Structure 1
Amino acid sequence: MKELFEKISSYNIFNYLLPGVIFGFWISKEAGFEIDGDILTKAFIYYFLGLVVSRFGSLVIEPFLKWVKIAKFESYKDHIKASKKDDKIDLLSEVNNMYRTIIGLISLIGLIKIYLWIEMKFTCLVNWRIPITLIVLLLMFTLSYRKQTGYISKRIKSNLNGK
């Protein structure tokens, strides 16, 4: 167990585990979803919840912040080039992603509160909670896969072009 925790990077802790624990705590208190299991099982569940929160931040929050011009991004090619010259950029990017994940966490909590309120008004939705959740997760991870594949392709092209 100790070895497992030693291998977890600060990125994983601040962008997945911490938001997952906060989200899991909120879900259990506000929405009545208890997270059962031993410490290791809970750690994996919290990590997964944090991964979901992080993906929401990446797929929804980031484009929204770009659209309202709160965030401006440099090209991925320039990011790769600059990161090779200044390794502090990776740390700054990690912190930046943590802020985006926290915005995603707060937004998701708000959206779930709204959904639970709607569910109280239309009680038939209670029976659809799991299918709706699975469809949203499938869509979100499919889009995440597409986005990550794009980053990999850009990185390969950048390295093949020698830039």
Structure 2
Amino acid sequence: MTDIVSKITSYNLFNYLFPGVLFAVIATKWSIYNFKVENIILGVFLYYFMGMTISRIGSLWIEKVLKKSKLVKFSNYKDLVYSSKKDDKINLFSEINNTYRTLISLGFCLLLTKIYSEYDDYFDIPDIYTTSGLTIFIIIIYILSYKKQTEYINKRIKANKD
């Protein structure tokens, strides 16, 4: 367990565990769902997974919306790779940037949970639809995340070759 804790980076804490815990606490108060877990070890893994999923939603959709709305503009990836070798603060700023995006995603996920909670109570949606839909949604999120991460790896390899 000590080995696992020593390998947790600030990125893991602020982009996965922190938003997962926040989501569980706030969604439990705002909705009809209870995300509290009594077993602390199980809770850490569950909240980490929830936060990682929230982060992926931010990476896949929130980022795209912000780019298309022209609220944010990204630099060329090759320039990022080159510049981050010269200025190590860029990686820190990128991590902070991703935390902000994850917190935006957290707000979006909390809002969706609240809305769904209201409709679930009103329409009495069967659990099988909720769990099946959520499972399919999570599978799609991680397929798209895998694709995006593979593209980043390929871009980084290409940028380092040039």
TM (norm. structure 1) is 0.92
Q: CA RMSD in A?
A: 1.5
Query: Structure 2: any 5+ residue segments left out of the alignment?
Result: none
Q: For the residues of structure 1 that align with 2:131 and 2:80, how far apart are their CA atoms?
A: 39
Deviation per residue, 1:31-78 (Å, 9 max, x gap): 322443521111111110110110011011100111111111011111
1:7 Cα offset (Å): 1.7
Contact 1:119–1:126 at 8 Å: present in 2 too?
no
Say if 1:37 and 1:63 are closer, same or farther in 2 by CA, change over 3 A: same
1:122 Cα offset (Å): 2.5
- Percent identity, aligned pairs only, is 45
Contact 2:33–2:117 at 8 Å: present in 1 too?
no
Q: For the residues of structure 1 that align with 2:54 and 2:32, how far apart are their CA atoms?
A: 16
Q: For the residues of structure 2 that align with 1:115 and 1:125, how far apart are their CA atoms?
A: 13
Which residue in 1 is equivalent to 2:19? 19
Which residue in 2 is equivalent to 1:119? 120
Query: Structure 1: any 5+ residue segments left out of the alignment?
Result: none
**Aligned: 1:49 with 2:50:** yes
TM (norm. structure 2) is 0.92
How many residues align? The count is 161
User: Which of structure 1's runs of 4+ aligned residues deviate more than 4 A?
Assistant: none
1:157 Cα offset (Å): 1.1
Deviation per residue, 1:56-113 (Å, 9 max, x gap): 1101110011111111101111110110111100000000000000000001100111
Alignment of 1:25-104 (within 5 A): 25-29=25-29, 30-104=31-105
